[in-house]
């Protein structure tokens, strides 16, 4: 589906409530499914990825009712999960694939996991290899690296695993498998990745130990259902934050944004570039920090983004690249090779599509270099089926002269189903 976006002439103004966090919504459903007792979720993200998680766990025999942002999960512990008759289709969701494999690795039955054409290209050996080491039987294309994957779990043993990549999906997968394995499972990573799994497992009554880049759980722990309130997704808010910073005469307030420090790299970048950003009403919900953010247009300067901050803003790099096209001077993004294994190779897709609009940007082996400030010109661009590329291009349309036509814009529903409605509501 093509979506056209016109240059915004009178600025973006107003207040919106950012929809639920995708990472936290997935985890609420999965942990509710393996917990004992009922879990109720409020603020759930009804995006396609999280609906895939619900559908997979329903196929595993768990009773789950979802109505917009409310979900009720009738957990019966691990014993409540049964061998599915059907394949488990994860759609476009890497989080569903990798976290669910961690749970399936401990269950004594057979499952087949498939996804869409993007999932079929994403590397799974980063989780299937350690899960095999723990004792799960896994096969699939490319020796178990690519979907479709078949898995027969059960009888797993704890592992001491040193991950080569800073990935919350890898860390969460191994910790989930560790919960039902004999002994203590320890995962370490090169930089700290998002810690929603650790925080939410504690809310479900699990003892999780964390020390710097190392996290561990003791096997044999049971989860107890409860009430989870999901904050707004800072990765979705990022598109509106960038719009507010670069569209002339804008001032917008985003309510209920999750500001977990493992996710707030975008805030640090905006502040370092000179954005006019106010953080208010800071509070904590279910052990997750939340705040309201107000951003207004300002002049920006280029910076270097590398090292420890990368996992804290990995999903925001496409829209940060757009932001950098409007900053004076050079912005260098390094240490971000992980972008190559997302829904698309996001180094290639963001560079190729911003070039079509007239940006001065070049790809590097581990990131990109952007030279600002450039005037962007409307053109036809593609999302390549990647929600974050689609939204980046739509925000570019707000400042480009003429019209930006975003092809395959339906991908945006993966994480931000009401993106265009909210963007429209900010225009006078
Ligand atoms: O779920 P999926 O498809 O992997 O989604 C993405 C996204 O842009 O929405 C990545 F493509 O987010 C990941 C994120 O990049 C969600 C996530 C999580 O919920 O644990 C962790 C990050 O991935 P990783 O591989 O670094 O662990």
Q: Tell whether the model's pLDDT for residue 335 goes beyond 90.
A: yes
Give the bridge partners for 333, in sequence order: 305, 368
d(CA 228, CA 251): 31
CATH class of 3-20+231-425: alpha beta
Q: What is the mean pLDDT of residues 42-48?
A: 98
Ligand 1 and 45: CB distance under 6 A: no
Question: Which pair of structure tokens corresponds to residue 386?
Answer: 């990647």
Ligand 1 and 93: CB distance under 6 A: yes
Give domain limits for the chain. Answer: 3-20+231-425, 22-229
Give the bridge partners for 110, in sequence order: 152
d(CA 202, CA 381): 43
- C-alpha distance across the termini of the chain, in Å: 25
The rounded Å distance from CA 94 to ligand 1 centre is 6
Which pLDDT tens digit goes with each residue over 345-392? 999 999 999 999 999 999 999 999 999 999 999 999 999 999 999 999
Q: Indicate if 22-229 has the same CATH topology as 3-20+231-425.
A: yes
Ligand 1 and 167: CB distance under 6 A: yes
Question: What is 22-229's CATH number?
Answer: 3.65.10.10
pTM: 0.98
Question: Mean pLDDT in the chain?
Answer: 98
Q: What is the mean pLDDT of residues 159-170?
A: 98
CB atoms within 10 A of CB 273: 25
Q: Grade residue 116 by pLDDT with cuts at 50, 70 and 90.
A: very high
Ligand 1 and 126: CB distance under 6 A: no
d(CA 324, CA 98): 32
pLDDT > 70: percent of the chain: 100
User: What pLDDT score was predicted for residue 393?
Assistant: 98
Ligand 1 and 314: CB distance under 6 A: yes
d(CA 119, CA 130): 20
The rounded Å distance from CA 43 to ligand 1 centre is 19
Q: What is the mean pLDDT of residues 312-325?
A: 98
| Catalytic (active site) residue 315 | yes
In the β-sheet with 13-17, what is the strand arrangement from edge to edge? 13-17, 251-258, 288-296, 276-285
Name the DSSP letter for residue 104. Answer: H
pLDDT > 90: percent of the chain: 100
The rounded Å distance from CA 303 to ligand 1 centre is 24
Which pLDDT tens digit goes with each residue over 180-212? 999 999 999 999 999 999 999 999 999 999 999
Report the largest interatomic distance among the alpha carbons of the chain, rounded to a whole angstrom. Answer: 62
> Which residue among 315, 348, 365, 366 is the active-site one?
315
Name the DSSP letter for residue 165. Answer: S
Instruction: Give the helix/strand (H/E) hosting 328.
Output: strand 327-333
Atom 26, ligand 1: residue with shortest CA distance:
167
Question: Which pair of structure tokens corresponds to residue 333?
Answer: 């993004």
d(CA 373, CA 273): 13
User: What pLDDT score was predicted for residue 428?
Assistant: 77
């Amino acid at each position: 589906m093509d979506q056209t976006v016109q240059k915004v002439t009178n600025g973006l103004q107003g207040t919106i409530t950012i929809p639920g966090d995708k990472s936290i919504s997935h985890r609420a459903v999965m942990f509710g499914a393996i917990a004992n007792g009922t879990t109720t979720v409020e603020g759930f993200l009804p995006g396609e990825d999280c609906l895939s998680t619900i559908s997979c766990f329903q196929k595993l025999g768990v009773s789950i009712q979802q109505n917009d942002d409310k979900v009720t999960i009738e957990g019966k512990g691990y014993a409540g999960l049964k061998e599915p008759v059907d394949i488990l289709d994860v759609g476009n969701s890497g989080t569903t694939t990798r976290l669910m494999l961690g749970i399936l690795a401990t269950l004594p039955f057979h499952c087949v996991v498939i996804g869409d054409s993007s999932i079929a290209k994403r590397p799974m050996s980063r989780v299937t290899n350690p899960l095999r080491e723990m004792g799960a039987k896994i096969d699939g294309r490319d020796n178990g690296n690519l979907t479709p994957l078949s898995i027969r779990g059960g009888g797993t043993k704890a592992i001491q695993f040193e991950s080569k990549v800073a990935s919350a999906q890898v860390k969460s997968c191994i910790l989930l498998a560790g919960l039902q394995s004999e002994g203590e499972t320890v995962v370490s990573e090169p930089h700290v990745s998002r810690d929603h799994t650790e925080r939410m497992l504690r809310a479900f009554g699990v003892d999780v130990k964390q020390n710097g880049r190392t996290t561990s759980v003791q096997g044999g722990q049971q989860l107890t259902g409860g009430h989870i309130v999901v904050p707004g997704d800072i990765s979705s808010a990022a598109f509106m934050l960038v719009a507010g910073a670069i569209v002339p005469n804008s001032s917008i307030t985003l309510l209920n944004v999750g500001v977990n420090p493992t996710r707030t790299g975008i805030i640090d970048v905006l502040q370092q570039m000179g954005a006019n950003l106010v953080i208010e009403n800071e509070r904590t919900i279910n052990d997750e920090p939340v705040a309201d953010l107000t951003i207004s247009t300002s002049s920006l300067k280029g910076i270097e983004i590398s090292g420890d901050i990368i996992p804290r803003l990995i999903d925001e790099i496409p829209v940060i690249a757009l932001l950098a096209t409007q900053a004076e001077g050079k912005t260098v993004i390094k240490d971000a090779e992980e972008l190559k294994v997302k829904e698309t190779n996001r180094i290639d897709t963001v560079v190729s599509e911003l070039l079509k609009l007239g940006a001065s940007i070049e790809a590097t082996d581990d990131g990109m270099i952007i030279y600002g400030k450039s005037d962007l010109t409307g053109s036809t661009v593609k999302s390549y089926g990647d929600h974050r590329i689609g939204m980046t291009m739509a925000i570019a349309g707000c400042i480009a002269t003429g019209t930006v036509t975003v092809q395959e814009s339906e991908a945006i529903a993966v994480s931000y189903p009401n993106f265009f409605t909210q963007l429209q509501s900010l225009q006078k």
